[in-house]
Amino acid sequence: MLRTHTCGELRKEHEGKKVVLCGWMHSLREHGNVVFLDLRDRYGITQIVASDTLKDRLQSLKRESVVRIAGTVVAKPEPNEKLETGNIEVQAQTLEVLGEADTLPVDYQDPHITEESRLTYRYLDLRRPDMQHNIILKHKAALAAREFLDKEQFVEIETPMLMRHTPEGARDYVVPSRINQGLFYSLPQSPQIYKQILMVSGFDRYFQIARCMRDENLRMDRQPEFTQIDMEMSFVDEQDVFDVLERMHAHIFKHTLGIDLKVPFERLTYKQAMDRYGSDKPDLRFGLELVDVTDIMKETEVQAFKENKTVYCLNAKNCAEFSRKKIDKLNDIARTYHTKGVFWMKGITDGPLAKLLDENTARALAKRCEAGEHDLLVVIADDWQKATTALGHLRNEIIKEKELQPTEPFKFAWIHDFPMFEWDEEEARWDAMHNPFSMPREEHLEYLEKDPSRVHAKQYDLTLNGVELGSGSVRNHKREILERVLKVMGHEFEEATKKFGFMLNAFRYGVPPHGGFAVGFDRLITLMCGHTDIREVIAFPKNKKAQGMMEGSPSEIDKKHLKELGLHLNN
Ligand code: ASP
C-alpha cells in the first residue's frame, strides 16, 4: 500500500507515530508561515500542517490534486469537533504528487450546482460524501439481501441480457443481431420468464440482483435501466412470499440503518386501499382517510349525487382556512383525474355544498366524516374508480400543502387482491393490470369469459411511504387457465406461443406451483437515504432524455458498423 492509514483513521492514540497518508487536496488555508491542508479520502479528512518548501509546493498545486504525505501525528491543542480525526493533525515531512489536478470545470460541492453539471462531471459529483454514503449504503443493502436470501436457501442465478421480446407491458430496448441479420434481441424488462423456467427446472428458490431495461418516458423514480432484487419460489402461496420479503426487509434495515422494522407489514386489499386512501400505493403515515358517503348523499335532491354511482368525501382536517385559490386548485386537480370537480364546505354552514344540503344532511355528513368547524369537506360524485382516485390525489396535495409530518420514518404495506384485468380505452380491449402471468383467484375463474372485471388475481405490490417498491404474484402455471386469460386479452394462443411459447412448452413437462416478487432496489435505497430521485443512488444514471451526459450516450455509429448489422438509416 502507498499509505499506512486512511484519512479517517488517526486518533489521539496515534500521537507520535510516523504515518503516510494519500488523498485529495480538499482545501488549503494559509496561517502565518504554515499551511493547513484538509486531506480527504472516502474515509474522512485529516488535517496536515506544512511549512517551508512543502508549504510552497502545496500552494502551487490546484485543489483536488492527489498527494501522498509522510509525517508525524501530533495532538491538536484545540480539537476540531467537526472532524472525527479532529484531535490530531499530521506534521508533514515529505510530499509526493500522485495525480495533479487541473482547475475544476465546476464546483462540485456547490449546493446550487445544476443537474446537468452534476451528470456531466459525475466523477466529481460522486466525490461528495452524501453520494458516497448512498452508493455504499446500496452496496451494504445488497450484501444484507444476499446474506439473508442465501440463509433461506435462495440460489443466485444469472439470466440472459440478450433475450427475445416478451409481452411484459413496457417497451423493450432492442439490439440488432449481426450474425442473424434482420433479427433483434430484446434487453430484459425483467428476468420474469427465465425465473419461472428455473422453477420448472427444480431450483426451488431463485434470486438475482438483476438489471432491467425499459424504454419508457422517464420520471424522478424511473430510469431506463434499474436494479431489482428479483426472486421466485416454488410450492408457495401469497402469504409465504409476504413472509420472506418482510423478513428480508427487516434484515436489510437492521444491517444497514440499525432500524428494527415492525413485521408483519400492514396488508390492504386493492379495494380497501382505494376505498380508504384513493390510491394503490397509499402513504399510510398520514390519517386523512376517504369516507363513502353515497347513502347519505343519495337521499338529497342534488342531481349530481343522485345520478352518480358513488359519492366519496375527504375530510381535510384543519383546512377550513384554505383560500378560494387553494380550493380552486383542488378542484382543478380533481378535474385532471377525469371527474367533474369537487363540492366543498367548511364546517357545516360555509361553502357551496352547505348551501345545497339541508341542515340534517350537512350534520349527518359532518358526523360520518368526524368533521368540525375547522375542517374542509371535499366531496366527489362519480364512478367508484374515478371518485376515489381523484380524492387520493387531493389527499396527497393536502399532505403537501399542509406540510403534514409523518407519524414514522418508514411504513411498509402490502396491497393485494388486484383486479386481473383493466379496460384499455384506446385499444378497446381488456389488458392485464400487471402482467398475464398471474394466477386468477380460483373462486373467480367462472367469470373469466363472462365478466373479466370481476376476476381478481393473486397479485400483490409492496409499498413504502406511498411509493410502489415492487410487485409480484403467484403465477398462473396452468396452461389451460393461461390460455383462457390470453384469450380475454385478445391474444390468440398461437400468437402468444410465438412470443413466450418456450415458457409454455416448459410448463408441459412438470411445473411446480410458484410465485415471486421483484423489489425495485434503487427505489428502496432512495427512500432509505431520504431522497425522492433514484438518480441519487445510481452511480451513472441517465438524464430525463435517457442520455448518459458524462459519456455521451446514445451515440451515432459509423456506416461500416451499420452495414455489418444490415441496418440502413433513413436520415
Ligand atoms: N417481473 C415483475 C416486475 O418486474 C415482478 C414479478 O412479478 O416478479 O414487475
pLDDT of 167: 67
Last residue of a domain, one of 373, 402, 431: 402
Q: Distance from the CA of 461 to the center of ligand 1, in angstroms?
A: 10
- 508 and 528 part of one domain: yes
Report whether residue 46 contacts ligand 1, using a CB cutoff of 6 Å.
no
CATH of the domain at 451: 3.30.930.10
Rounded to an integer, what distance in angstroms lies between the CA atom of residue 269 and that of residue 457? 11
Say whether both 259 and 311 belong to one domain.
no
The Cβ-side half-sphere exposure at 502, using a 13 Å CA radius, reads: 12
Q: Are residues 241 and 368 in the same domain?
A: no
Q: Where are the beta strands (DSSP E) in 287-428?
A: 290-292, 310-316, 343-346, 376-382, 412-416, 421-424
pLDDT for 222 equals 86
Residue 274 placed within a domain:
no
Distance from residue 318's CA to the centre of ligand 1 (Å): 41
- The domain tally of the chain equals 3
Cβ(233) to ligand 1 under 6 A? Answer: no
pLDDT digits (tens), the chain, 571 positions: 999 999 999 999 999 999 999 999 999 999 999 999 999 999 999 999 999 999 999 999 999 999 999 999 999 989 999 999 999 999 999 999 999 999 999 999 999 999 999 999 999 999 999 999 999 999 999 999 999 999 999 999 999 999 998 766 789 999 999 999 999 999 999 999 999 999 999 999 999 999 999 998 877 778 999 999 999 999 999 999 999 999 999 999 999 999 999 999 999 999 999 999 999 999 999 989 999 999 999 989 888 998 888 999 999 999 999 999 999 999 999 999 999 999 999 988 899 999 999 999 999 999 999 999 999 999 999 999 999 999 999 999 999 999 999 999 999 999 999 999 998 888 888 988 887 889 999 999 999 999 999 999 999 999 999 999 999 999 999 988 988 998 898 877 777 777 778 888 899 999 999 999 999 999 999 999 999 999 999 999 999 999 999 999 999 999 999 999 999 998 7
Query: Does the C-beta of 192 come closer than 6 Å to ligand 1?
Result: yes
CATH number at residue 19: 2.40.50.140
Question: Same structural domain for residues 261 and 295?
Answer: no
CA of 470 to the centre of ligand 1 (A): 7
Spacing, Cα 450 to ligand 1 middle (Å): 28
Peptide bond into 264 cis (omega under 30): yes
515 lines ligand 1 (CB under 6 A): no
Please identify, by atom number, the ligand 1 atom nearest to the C-alpha of residue 438: 7
* 375/447 same-domain check: no
How remote is the C-alpha of 311 from its chain's centroid? 33
C-alpha cell at 530: 431520504
Nearest CA to ligand 1 atom 6: 472
Beta-carbon contacts of 216 under 8 Å, excluding residues fewer than 6 positions away, are: 170, 171, 222, 224
The domain boundary, picked from 84, 99, 114, lies at 99
Answer whether 433's CB lies under 8 Å from 419's CB. yes
354-363 contacts, C-beta under 8 A, 24 or more apart: 356/300, 356/302, 357/300, 357/302, 358/300, 361/296, 361/297, 361/299, 361/300
> Does 251 reside within a domain?
yes
Query: Cβ of 71: how many Cβ atoms within 10 Å?
Result: 22
Q: How many residues does the chain have?
A: 571
Rounded CA-CA distance 549/540 in Å is 9
Q: From the CB of 471, is ligand 1 less than 6 Å away?
A: yes
Q: How far is CA 97 from CA 28, 62, 72, 298, 441, in A?
A: 15, 11, 19, 81, 68
Domain that includes residue 209, residue range: 131-160+199-267+411-563
Atom of ligand 1 nearest to the CA of 437: 7
Q: Which CATH number does the domain housing residue 293 bear? A: 3.30.1360.30
- Joined grid coordinates for residue 201: 427446472
Same domain, yes or no: 367 and 313: yes
**CB of 517 shorter than 6 A to ligand 1:** yes
Mutation choice for ligand 1 from 163, 166, 192, 521, CB with most ligand atoms inside 8 A? 192
Q: How far is CA 404 from CA 250, 283, 396, 468, in A?
A: 26, 12, 10, 21
CB of 207 within 6 A of ligand 1: the answer is no
Q: d(Cα 172, Cα 459) in Å, to the nearest integer?
A: 23
The CA-atom distances, in angstroms, between 549 and each of 177, 375, 446 are 27, 48, 53
- Whole-number Å distance between alpha carbons of 185 and 191: 14
| Nearest residue to 532 (alpha-carbon basis) of 148, 89, 244, 219 | 219
495: in domain: yes
Instruction: Tell me which of 205, 221, 228 to substitute to probe ligand 1's pocket, judged by most ligand atoms within 8 Å of the beta carbon.
Output: 228
**Is residue 392 lining ligand 1, measured as CB closer than 6 Å?**
no
Are 217 and 254 within one domain? yes
Of 80, 99, 118, the one marking the end of a domain is: 99
Q: Is 464 part of a structural domain of the chain? A: yes
Q: Measured in angstroms, how far is the CA atom of residue 195 from the centroid of ligand 1?
A: 10
Same domain, 228 and 248: yes
Q: Which atom of ligand 1 is nearest to the CA of 231?
A: 8
Asked if the structure places residue 26 within a domain, the reply is yes
Q: For a pocket test of ligand 1, which of 230, 232, 414, 469 has the largest count of ligand atoms closer than 8 A to its C-beta?
A: 230
Residues 139 and 83 in one domain: no
- Which residue has the CA at smallest separation from atom 4 of ligand 1? 190
> Which of 222, 281, 471, 503 maximizes ligand 1 atoms within 8 Å of its Cβ, making it the mutation to test the pocket?
471
Ligand 1 pocket: which of 172, 187, 190 to mutate (most atoms within 8 A of CB): 190
Q: Is residue 424 part of a domain?
A: yes
Q: Ligand 1 center to residue 345 CA distance, Å?
A: 43
347 with 466, same domain?
A: no
Residue 30 domain-assigned (yes or no): yes
Quick check: helix, strand or coil at residue 270? helix
Same domain, yes or no: 93 and 59: yes
Our answer on whether the CB atom of 166 is closer than 6 Å to any ligand 1 atom is no
Residue 437 sits in the same domain as residue 385: no
CB of 516 sitting under 6 A from ligand 1: yes
> Does the beta carbon of 472 lie inside 6 Å of ligand 1?
yes
- Is 436 inside any structural domain? yes
Q: Which residues 6+ apart lie within 8 Å of 273 measured at CB?
A: 279, 280, 281, 282, 413, 415
